[in-house]
Structure 1
Amino acid sequence: MSEVHILDEIVLQPDNIATVLQMLEDQYLPGLPSRHTLSLSRRWVSPPVQLEGQANTLWLLWEVVDVMGYYTMRGTAGPEVAAFWEAVDKLCLQRRRHVMTDAGKPLARPLEAP
């Protein structure tokens, strides 16, 4: 089984970056032990400077143990997770999520229904 990476791409006005990071620390990360398959690996912002009239992109890289862990994480996310992302959506200009795995590993096959 191959580790799954989730890359959140959040486009924000520079003044909202600190707010989203604080929300992440206060509201989202404390619940991770109960969603044990997910961990925050890295946080980046690009460009690395604040430019007048230009938005920045906050990148959050998450790791999940495997494909089953990814679907377990999604299936067990409670209303607090949805509330967090709704609050982020109100602050951001655009948000996209990329779900990836190592291209050199075999792709997981969907579970077949009984």
Structure 2
Amino acid sequence: MYGQNIRLFRKQKGMNQHELGAAMDVSAVSVSKWEREQTQPDIETLQKLADLFDTSIDELCGRPPKPEDAMDNMSVMCRAFRQMKPEEQEKYLAVGKALFASAFAPAAPAQDDDAAE
């Protein structure tokens, strides 16, 4: 799970494996091995990754959030949204608007088949 998350956060930052490796003072091969879960970053590197990605080690490692962390999760989502390219932001906003509109749209009345005859 941690490998998928490292890859996801790296891509959200718009970084390739070489760039992340340079930021972490490791090789791109090390980053690739983390992402394929062949090796694990040490605790200091995990903290550096979490800091770079503006997240927690728990989230980076795929631990489910605690209910009291809901506001923290909103903060993480807002930060991730701000880091997206404008085109990606527009896609998410369009989906959100459609979901919001459908949630408050009046329900269509049930059609009575007998009444139509």
Q: Same fold (TM over 0.5)?
A: no
Structure possessing the higher radius of gyration over alpha carbons: 2
Greater relative contact order (Cα < 8 A, sep 6+) = 1
Higher helix proportion, which one? Answer: 2
